[in-house]
């Protein structure tokens, strides 16, 4: 799941913003007032069903009301259990290193629906990212992407994937700093330059799957919150277990 989702995100294909199904309510109606407090998924579900109530009798309309808004309120309670900005079912990714490559990959994954946090030790940059978001310039245009940014010690929830972009000399310390974010099934992926990084990660987390990759995706750090990519690139992934690595293939 992790490898498949990562490769889908890195396809770099532009995706139009999803729009909800048709259907409307009268402005200022009770239904509209209720839906204003519901998560988007619940609002869209309600908008689908509300017009159908006009064709039902009084009893059927009451039952439809209970089903529609009862389900919507359950969705609201379930949404409240997730962290702010976390989409239901989204892969949770921690990107170690908020430089040119870490920033660009984090931003593109976030644009494709992943729940991403950028981890770094530069408090000034983290504050700027939190306040301003991440500015990305590439073939898709110039835009700002809201993104979470924090020091490792300030985070508590386990993630599905830890993507490592630090300098090789900082690998061991950086990976050790996120030990509390790694669960039994958390993947590590290093796209760093240099040799020995996968081995260092595997030695610290012998029970976790580790993947390594090479990429020629270009990225420059223009400013503390600004990355620019010019031209196309690719990513190749390998299992640290060798050519026959089963987990990455699956």
| 212 inside domain | yes
Phi-psi region of 191 (alpha: psi -120 to 50; beta: other; left: phi over 0): alpha
| 226 inside domain | yes
Looking at 58, 80, 102, the residue that finishes a domain is 80
| 21 inside domain | no
Asked if residue 139 and residue 185 are part of one domain, the reply reads yes
Asked if residue 231 and residue 182 are part of one domain, the reply reads yes
Output the pTM of the full model: 0.66
| 9 inside domain | no
Q: Residue 121: its pLDDT value, please?
A: 96
Q: Residue 244: its pLDDT value, please?
A: 52
Token reading at 7: 């490769």
Looking at 80, 97, 120, the residue that finishes a domain is 80
Asked if residue 149 and residue 38 are part of one domain, the reply reads no
Domain range spanning residue 66? 30-80
- CATH assignment at residue 129: 3.40.50.720
Q: Residue 218: its pLDDT value, please?
A: 93
| 250 inside domain | no
DSSP 51: G
Q: How far is CA 173 from CA 162, 200, 202, in A?
A: 14, 10, 14
Asked if residue 149 and residue 57 are part of one domain, the reply reads no
Asked if residue 223 and residue 141 are part of one domain, the reply reads yes
Asked if residue 165 and residue 57 are part of one domain, the reply reads no
Asked if residue 238 and residue 137 are part of one domain, the reply reads yes
| 25 inside domain | no
Number of domains in the chain: 2
Token reading at 103: 């920033």
| 188 inside domain | yes
Percent of the chain's residues with pLDDT above 90: 54
Asked if residue 149 and residue 212 are part of one domain, the reply reads yes
Cβ pair 10, 235 in contact under 8 A = yes
| 22 inside domain | no
Asked if residue 114 and residue 42 are part of one domain, the reply reads no
Asked if residue 106 and residue 73 are part of one domain, the reply reads no
Tens-level pLDDT at each residue, the chain (250 residues): 555 555 555 444 334 333 333 333 333 434 443 344 444 544 554 555 455 445 555 555 545 545 555 554 444 444 433 444 455 578 899 999 999 999 999 999 999 999 999 999 999 999 999 999 999 999 999 999 999 999 999 999 999 999 999 999 999 999 999 999 999 999 999 999 888 999 999 999 999 999 999 999 999 999 999 999 988 889 998 887 765 555 665 5
Q: Measured between alpha carbons, how far is 52 from 56 in angstroms, rounded to an integer?
A: 7
Q: How far out from the chain centre does Cα 64 lie?
A: 35
Q: Residue 147: its pLDDT value, please?
A: 95
Asked if residue 140 and residue 58 are part of one domain, the reply reads no
Asked if residue 224 and residue 153 are part of one domain, the reply reads yes
Q: Measured between alpha carbons, how far is 95 from 119 in angstroms, rounded to an integer?
A: 6
């Amino acid at each position: 799941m992790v490898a498949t989702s990562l490769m889908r995100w890195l396809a770099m294909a532009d995706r139009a913003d999803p729009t909800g199904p048709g259907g409307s309510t009268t402005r200022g109606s009770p239904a509209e007032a209720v839906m204003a407090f519901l998560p988007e998924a619940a609002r869209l579900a309600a908008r689908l069903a509300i017009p159908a109530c006009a064709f039902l009798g009084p009893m059927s309309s009451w039952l439809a009301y209970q089903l529609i808004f009862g389900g919507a309120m359950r969705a609201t309670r379930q949404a409240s259990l997730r962290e702010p900005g976390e989409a239901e079912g989204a892969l949770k990714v921690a990107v170690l290193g908020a430089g040119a490559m870490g920033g660009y990959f984090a931003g593109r994954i976030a644009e494709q629906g992943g729940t991403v946090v950028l981890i770094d030790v530069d408090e000034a940059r983290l504050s700027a990212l939190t306040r301003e978001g991440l500015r990305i310039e590439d073939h898709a245009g110039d835009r700002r992407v809201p993104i979470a940014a924090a020091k490792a010690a300030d985070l508590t929830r386990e993630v599905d994937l830890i993507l490592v972009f630090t300098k090789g000399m900082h690998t061991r310390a950086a990976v050790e700093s996120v030990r509390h974010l790694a669960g039994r099934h958390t993947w590590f992926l290093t796209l760093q330059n240099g040799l020995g990084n996968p081995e260092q990660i595997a030695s610290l987390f012998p029970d976790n799957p580790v993947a390594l990759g090479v990429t020629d995706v270009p990225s420059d750090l223009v400013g503390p919150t600004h990355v620019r990519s010019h031209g196309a690139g690719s990513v190749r992934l390998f299992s640290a277990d060798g050519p026959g690595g089963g987990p990455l293939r699956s």
